Amino acid sequence: MNRLLKLAGLNTKLTPHSLRHTHTSLLAQAEISLPQIMERLGHKDENTTKNIYLHLTKEMKKEASQKFKKLMENL
């Protein structure tokens, strides 16, 4: 894996597990449903997926902020 990470110009401290977390967050950012993400990861318990694997990306935080701003402008 180190060789592949170096070839890709990525941090060589990444692990398959850290890439799994990133993949999960990017699926959520792409608005893939929780059941679909759970199936892809092989999870039966949604709390495992939500509490351990899903992390907000910068883009998701920015989008939430923009949606809230729009809501407040329309009050």
* Tens digit of each residue's pLDDT, the chain (75 residues): 899 999 999 999 999 999 999 999 999 999 999 999 999 999 999 999 999 998 888 888 999 999 999 999 998
pLDDT at 23: 93
How many residues does the structure list for the chain?
75
Q: How many domains does the chain have?
A: 1
Task: Write out the residue range of the structural domain in which residue 51 sits.
Answer: 2-73
Provide the pLDDT for residue 27. Answer: 95
Question: Residue 55 has what pLDDT?
Answer: 87
